[in-house]
Structures are given as C-alpha cells and as structure tokens.
Amino acid sequence: MTGEAALREWTIEALARLRREAARSADTHLLRLEFPGFPGIGFYFKDEAAHPTGSLKHRLARSLYLYAICNGRLRPGQPVVDASSGSTAISEAWFARLLGLRFTAVMPACTAPRKIADVEALGGRCDLVDDPSQVYERAAWHAAQGACHLDQFGLAERATDWRGNNNIAESIIGQLAGEPQPEPAWVVCGAGTGGTSATIGRYLRYRGLHTRLCVADPAGSAFAAGWRARDRGAVARAPTVIEGIGRARVEPGFVFEVVDEVVEVPDAASIAAMRLLEEQIGRRYGGSSGTNLVACLQLAARMRDAGGTGSIVSLLCDPGERYDRTLYDPQWLARAGIDPAPAEAALRRTLASGAWHALA
C-alpha cells in the first residue's frame, strides 16, 4: 500500500472507532431542581460529569479528534499534544488510547493532582509548566517536533457542529421539550475555551429562541472585562482557583457577540455553591459547577423581582472527586486563604427567600 492509501485506511478505521464509541455512549441527564424561594422558576442542570471521561470535555475531545482526522492533520502513529487545565487532557488521553496514539498534555504544575494522575492512568504523559501562561508556547513546541496539536483553545469553537449533531445545546433543548417551560429564559455556562458558550449561543439563534445566554466567570476574569469593553486584549485582574474557567486572557474561541450577560463570581461563592449542589443532588461536582449555580441564582432573583417565571438551564461540568485534595479539603482552602462560610450563608438566604443576598 502507498503511504496515502495507508493513511486513508487508517482514517476510515479511526472514524469507525469514534463512531462506535459514540454509539456506546448515552446522552447526559438533565436534572431538575426546585428552590423554595423561587416558586414558578424551574432550574435544570445538565450533568456533564456523567460522560465516560467525567466532564463536558468529552464532547470537545471527540470533536477535536474528528476535526484533526477529517482535515488530514492526524496520521497513524503520530503523537498528539494539547495544552489543558486538566479536564480536556483527561478526555483527550482517553480518546488517544481508543485510537492507539501517544498523547502528551501540557498543563500548569498547579493543576489538581488527581487530574494529573487520571491522565497518566490513561497512558498519557504530562508535561508540567510552572507558569500557566506558558502552556500555549510549550504545546506549539511539541507540535514543531512533529506532534499533532489538537489545539482546544484555537479550535474548540469551530470543531463543534453548532447546528446540530446532538451538540450540548441541541441536547438540552430536546430534553426540555416536554417540560412546563420548554423555552428557557436563560442558559448559564462557564467559559474556558469559549467553545460551549459559542455553541449554545449560536444554536439558540439558529433555532429562533428568545433564550438568553449568560457566562458565569470568576471575579476579575479576562472574559468578563473583555466582553464588557469588547476588547480581545483584556487580561485577568486576579487569579482564580476555579479550574476550567477564569482564563488569564481572552481565548480565541470566546465569541463576544453571542453572549448576553457575564456574571462575575468570587471564588469563595463558587466553592460555597459547589457544596450546596452536593446537598441538593447528593453527588459532588467541581468548582465551575458552583460558579454556574451562583449566576443562576442571581438571574433568578432578578426574574423574581420583575415578577417573572420561567426556566433556567445550566451545566454540571465535572465531578468533585477531582478536587478532593484541593477545593474539598478544608486545610487546602485555609492555606489558600479562602473561607466559603459567609458566601454560603448568603446563598442559603437567597435560596430560601428568593431575594439576592450580596456575597461577602
């Protein structure tokens, strides 16, 4: 067989493996929650932790491999690399194993240890850099050595089929079809690559819905400042301990135009809300899921003040076990100087009364 013929055969087999994986997987649950302070407002949370690799990055990793393969950028035996704060690396390592490829994740050294262990358990290598802003350059270096760069930050927004193919937005809107308020007032999500918000925002317009899109991001984030000033050069004013979101720069995949609102959430409030989710659902989720809940409650309080009813949809992004030794460890929190107790008290008052209580 010639090289080109062998490449075509490998491409066909790789796509078949990805298709079989999709066929074996089920859609994720859309959980409904009710809070006493918000009669008439339905809260829905899409449980993206239920994917085989534990986060919403399962969808993205599948799309990035498909995009690389169908563009002829990924060849048999070629190593694969990407920059990641962890969740994407876990999903990409899992698909690399499925396809029989070697995978290297370039991650900040401060990434939760559990995520690093998960990548390694899947046969991936971790190349840790001390300064989180170095991950892009380091991944580009691996690509220059011959690796295929999946490039989540550069390609997330275009690798996903935003019109359909059961993307996250199509799945949510389909699952809501029989609910009392099937056209949500708001969808709330975080932004890391910006891929999820771009897909949801585009799909809402495409379907002609009135639903608005809110991005929940850590206080002082680059996305919040950038979105407000329509400035792609904005940078974060403060670091965050919430992984997956709160990027230091405005990533190329973050589409300003499809976002209707950005709510900034202090880290302590995200962590407090993450604990409240555990109480409500009986399972642990990561910090960015808590960030989403805080923004949902802020929007719900505004709806209630205006006498409105409706539904609000958000995402549970990844499982809490990944943060056993960080966000869920009281000693780690104390060392980081974070006390979620005041924010937790404020959020509990909001849940009970429906009135927004400012976060400490």
- Give contact residues for ligand PLP (rule: CB under 6 A): 55-57, 87, 156, 190-197, 244-245, 286, 288, 317-318
Query: Closest approach of Cβ 318 to ligand PLP, in Å?
Result: 4
Burial class (CB in 10 A: 0-12, 13-18, 19+), 291: buried
Nearest-CB residue for ligand PLP? 244
Q: How far apart are CA 181 and CA 175, in angstroms?
A: 12
Query: Residue 48 contacts by C-beta under 8 Å, 6 or more apart in sequence?
Result: 28, 55, 56, 58, 59, 168, 315, 316, 317, 318
Cβ(126)–Cβ(116) under 8 Å?
yes
Query: Residue 225 contacts by C-beta under 8 Å, 6 or more apart in sequence?
Result: 231, 234, 235, 236, 237
Query: Closest approach of Cβ 194 to ligand PLP, in Å?
Result: 5
Give the H or E element holding residue 113.
helix 113-121
Query: Closest approach of Cβ 232 to ligand PLP, in Å?
Result: 16
Query: Closest approach of Cβ 218 to ligand PLP, in Å?
Result: 11
Strand 41-47 vs strand 30-33: parallel, antiparallel, or unpaired? antiparallel
Query: Closest approach of Cβ 259 to ligand PLP, in Å?
Result: 11
Question: Sheet containing 148-149: which strands, arranged edge to edge?
Answer: 125-129, 103-108, 80-83, 148-149
Cβ proximity to ligand PLP: between 54 and 354 the closer is 54
Query: Closest approach of Cβ 27 to ligand PLP, in Å?
Result: 18
Cβ proximity to ligand PLP: between 157 and 344 the closer is 157
Supply 2's token pair. Answer: 């010639």
Cβ proximity to ligand PLP: between 76 and 132 the closer is 132
Cβ proximity to ligand PLP: between 58 and 142 the closer is 58
Supply 118's token pair. Answer: 């998960």
Q: Could you give the residue ranges of the DSSP H alpha helices within 217-338? A: 222-229, 267-281, 287-305, 330-335
Cβ proximity to ligand PLP: between 41 and 135 the closer is 135
Cβ proximity to ligand PLP: between 14 and 221 the closer is 221
Cβ proximity to ligand PLP: between 104 and 288 the closer is 288
Supply 320's token pair. Answer: 């809490």
CA torsion through residues 268, 234, 168, 159, sign: negative
Write out the E strands in 67-102: 80-83
The one-character DSSP state at 260 is -
Cβ proximity to ligand PLP: between 196 and 350 the closer is 196
Query: Closest approach of Cβ 195 to ligand PLP, in Å?
Result: 4
Query: Closest approach of Cβ 271 to ligand PLP, in Å?
Result: 14
